[in-house]
Amino acid sequence: MPVPAASARVFYLIPGLGADERVFKNLLPLLDGEAHVMAWPTPEADETLPHYVARMAAAIPPEQPCLVVGVSFGGVAALEIARLRPKARAVLVSSIPDADSLPLLLRVIRGTGVYKLFPPQWLKLFPRAGQWYFGVRNGEEYQIFKQILRDMDQAYTRWAIDRLLHWDSTNAGRSIQILGSHDRVFPPGPAPVDHLIPGGTHFMVLSHAPEISRILNTLPAED
pLDDT at res. 120: 65
pLDDT at res. 4: 42
> Which amino acid is it at 56?
M
| DSSP one-letter code for 38 | P
What's the CATH code of the domain at 137? 3.40.50.1820
* 26 falls within a domain: yes
pLDDT at res. 6: 44
Look up the domain containing 171 and give its range. 10-216
Pairing of strands 66-71, 34-37: unpaired
**For residues 90 and 81, is the Cβ–Cβ distance under 8 A?**
yes
pLDDT at res. 5: 45
* 1 falls within a domain: no
User: CA 160, CA 173: separation in Å to the nearest integer?
Assistant: 21
Rounded to two decimals, what is the model's pTM? 0.92
The three-state secondary structure class of 69 is strand
Q: Which helix (H) or strand (E) holds 86?
A: none
| Alpha helices, H only, the chain | 49-57, 73-84, 104-112, 127-134, 140-151, 154-165, 204-207, 209-216
* 210 falls within a domain: yes
Number of folded domains that form the chain: 1
| Alpha helices, H only, 62-153 | 73-84, 104-112, 127-134, 140-151
Average pLDDT by consecutive 10-residue portion of the chain (223 residues)? 58 94 97 96 94 97 96 98 96 97 92 78 77 93 92 90 95 95 94 95 97 96 68
* 5 falls within a domain: no
* 3 falls within a domain: no
* 222 falls within a domain: no
* 4 falls within a domain: no
* 131 falls within a domain: yes
User: CA 200, CA 57: separation in Å to the nearest integer?
Assistant: 29
